[in-house]
Amino acid sequence: MNKKIAWGVVALFFLMGCATFESMEVREQKYGKASPVIQQAFASKVIRYNDTWKVYLKASDSDGDMKAIVSYLEKGGKGGGGSLSYTRIKEENRKELSGYIYWYPGSNVTYFSEVLMTIQIQDMPGHFSNPVSLPLTMQPSGKQEPPPKDVFQEYNLGPIMITISPVGGDGGQ
């Protein structure tokens, strides 16, 4: 009897798992075929150590199904490995958004004075916007520039969850 229950639970999990893996065509029929578009992006190119970096975005999706802001951080700004973060987009911002995501580099930024953040927006079917790459230099006396006036809302879209730590002195994750 216990074996029948165990196999029933396994079969249920298998069927539930298969149901969540819809094809791109099925997701496009459900949500639409339009890809998100980042119309404008801005971030200061310089900040001071221990400051929080704000990345301003203005984006839209005609289908109204934006799902997440995907951020990829490259150490040294020259490629060769990095970290990925997903910031979920709230339901009320899935058609249009204007605001900022933010990143706190932490107290170990002396190991990294330059980074390159590449940002894309993903929608429900899995389409991605064109990437936007923003360089950042961290300096002891750097000053963060404000965004252009009247372009972006001062609205918190969420954090970029990437942590830098000096592992083995090479600054890996």
Query: Residue 169 has what pLDDT?
Result: 45
Say yes or no to pLDDT of 170 above 50. Answer: no
Q: How far apart are CA 152 and CA 26, in angstroms?
A: 34
Q: Which residues belong to CATH 2.60.40.10 in the chain?
A: 34-159
pLDDT given for residue 60 in this prediction: 96
Cα distance between residue 25 and residue 43, in whole Å:
36
Say if residue 117's pLDDT is above 80.
yes
Write down the pLDDT at residue 97.
Answer: 97
pLDDT at site 118: 95
Residues contacting residue 133 through CB under 8 Å, at least 6 positions apart: 116, 117, 118, 119
Domain 34-159 has CATH 2.60.40.10: yes
Range 53-56, long-range pairs (CB < 8 A, 24+ positions) = 53/102, 53/103, 53/104, 53/105, 53/136, 53/144, 54/100, 54/101, 54/102, 54/144, 54/147, 55/100, 55/101, 55/102, 55/103, 55/117, 55/119, 55/134, 55/160, 56/99, 56/100, 56/147, 56/151, 56/152
pTM over the 0.75 mark: yes
What average pLDDT does the segment 19-29 reach? 67
Q: Judge residue 10's burial from the number of C-beta atoms within 10 Å of its C-beta, 0-12 exposed, 13-18 middle, 19 or more buried.
A: exposed
Q: What is the pLDDT of residues 32-89, one digit of tens each?
A: 778 999 999 999 999 988 899 999 999 999 999 999 999 999 877 555 567 899 999 9
Q: Which residues contact 95 (CB under 8 A, 6 or more apart)?
A: 60, 61, 62, 64, 66
Question: Can you give the pLDDT at residue 58?
Answer: 98
